[in-house]
Amino acid sequence: MSGAVFTLPDLGEGLRDAEIVAWHVAEGDHVVADQPLVSVETDKAVVEIPSPRSGRVQRLLAEPGARIAVGAPLVEFTEGAEADAGAVVGRLPEATPAAAAPPPAHAATPAIAAMPAARARAQALGLDLSAIRGSGPGGTVTLADVEAAAAIPGAEPLRGVRLAMARSMARFRDEVAPTTVCDDADIGDWVTETDVTLRLVRAVAAGCRAAPALNAWLEGEGTSRRLHAQLDLGIAVDTEDGLFVPVLRDAGARPTDVLRADFAALKAAVRDRSIAPAALRGATVTLSNFGMLGGRYAALALVPPQVAILGAGRIAARPAVHRGTLAVRRLLPLSLTFDHRAVTGAEAARFLAAAIDDLTQPA
């Protein structure tokens, strides 16, 4: 290659590759340093990469939809004085209407609300986004909408969130010794306006105080354990594109109203795919409120290096002994899966008992 080549930078957190979502420049364009160059999708977030320099784009070295490794070539810039002329003297080449370059084939129509991954997939398949009915918020076209419109027979390669999930579950299969314990919390005394998710957050914090061994990472191929003083709680959020687990920082120490606002902001960022990669990493324990969708108990999968995940099943009225009398009570089923390499059965039982004790309180 004759020009200066810019490669896919290390995006942090151990990421090995990324998928090209959309280019914001075209070959022949003059760019300035820090101008948005390309959007890429990592495991669970869309990241905008700025230009590292001022100059002229000679070649784009990856197509939308391509998955490339960290360090692989992205853009070739023209070498020589002409490359930085715009930045040095403020001169941009003049263009007449006749010489104006047509918009690049991969440019998306701004008027169409679509997720970045959906735009890239539609471009790769040659589909017109305006002809696809969006099922996302406000009619946004999702990746699932594009795939349904394409109606492609046969297998499809996993990408983005689904690929991240497959990799995480492979690690769980290969690296964890999972054990699950289950019990019910009697929440019949809750006040009507109780926020279930925030009560579960509080219960996890209570469990970690009673059994700190569950708020830990098992590292070094299972040979070292790191106990965490702060609870950074990953909370599973289901979307059409797959499962996201944003992290609620310091969940055991901050006021409930602050946690509520933070979690609402995280969910909004997940929905519009603006969430930062850092907000999806570093969880010390995970919470899955799968009962909102259905199910009572579950043997859950946790993501190393974490050693514990608490699942909440569907709340329902069931027979239970209450103050020595058989009654119909609202019960919240709980499933605690832990890595038995790092957590003993007694520690798991103490965690679950403390969580249940917190959940049975009226408020």
Task: Among 91-105, 266-280, 347-361, name the most confident range.
Answer: 347-361
Nearest Cα to Cα of residue 135 among 127, 144, 126: 144
Answer yes or no: do 31 and 59 share one domain. Answer: yes
| pLDDT at 82 exceeding the cut of 80 | no
Answer yes or no: do 86 and 63 share one domain. Answer: yes
Q: Are 78 and 55 in contact (CB under 8 A)?
A: yes
CATH at residue 8: 2.40.50.100
Position 11 confidence tier, pLDDT thresholds 50, 70, 90: confident
66, burial (CB in 10 Å: exposed 0-12, middle 13-18, buried 19+): middle
Instruction: Determine the Cα–Cα distance for residues 277 and 363; give it in Å rounded to an integer.
Output: 34
Predicted confidence (pLDDT) per residue in 241-283, tens digit: 889 999 999 999 999 999 999 999 999 999 988 999 899 999 9
Answer yes or no: do 322 and 342 share one domain. Answer: yes
Torsion of CA 166, 115, 284, 350, to 10 degrees: -80
Backbone angles phi, psi at 240, to 5 degrees: -65, -25
Mean pLDDT score, 221-233: 95
Nearest Cα to Cα of residue 45 among 69, 21, 68, 76: 21
CATH at residue 355: 3.30.559.10
pLDDT for the residue 127: 81
pLDDT for the residue 155: 52
Answer yes or no: do 339 and 227 share one domain. Answer: yes
Last residue of a domain, one of 135, 157, 179: 157
Answer yes or no: do 169 and 115 share one domain. Answer: no
Mean pLDDT score, 323-334: 96
Answer yes or no: do 297 and 340 share one domain. Answer: yes
Token couple for 95: 């263009």
Answer yes or no: do 275 and 224 share one domain. Answer: yes
* Alpha-helix residue ranges (DSSP H) falling in 136-288: 143-150, 160-175, 196-210, 256-271
Answer yes or no: do 78 and 170 share one domain. Answer: no
The total number of structural domains that make up the chain: 3
Answer yes or no: do 74 and 196 share one domain. Answer: no
Answer yes or no: do 95 and 112 share one domain. Answer: no
| Number of other CB atoms surrounding residue 137 within 10 Å | 11
Backbone angles phi, psi at 185, to 5 degrees: -110, 125
Question: What is the number of alpha carbons within 13 Å of residue 321 lying toward its C-beta?
Answer: 1
Answer yes or no: do 136 and 152 share one domain. Answer: yes
**Which of the 8 DSSP states describes residue 323?**
T
Instruction: Determine the Cα–Cα distance for residues 357 and 24; give it in Å rounded to an integer.
Output: 54
CATH at residue 130: 4.10.320.10
pTM over 0.75: no
| Number of other CB atoms surrounding residue 193 within 10 Å | 6
pLDDT for the residue 128: 81
Position 193 confidence tier, pLDDT thresholds 50, 70, 90: confident
Least confident range from 43-57, 80-94, 136-150, 178-192: namely 80-94
Selected residue with higher pLDDT from 111 and 286:
286
Last residue of a domain, one of 87, 105, 123: 105
Predicted confidence (pLDDT) per residue in 20-70, tens digit: 988 999 899 999 988 889 988 876 677 889 999 899 999 999 998 888 888
Answer yes or no: do 243 and 211 share one domain. Answer: yes
Q: Are 330 and 314 in contact (CB under 8 A)?
A: no
Q: What integer best gives the mean pLDDT of the chain?
A: 86
Identify the sign of the CA torsion 337, 341, 343, 344: positive
- Residue span of the structural domain in which 340 resides: 164-359
Contacting residues for 85 by C-beta, under 8 A, at least 6 apart: 91
| pLDDT at 289 exceeding the cut of 70 | yes
Which uninterrupted H or E stretch holds 67? strand 67-69
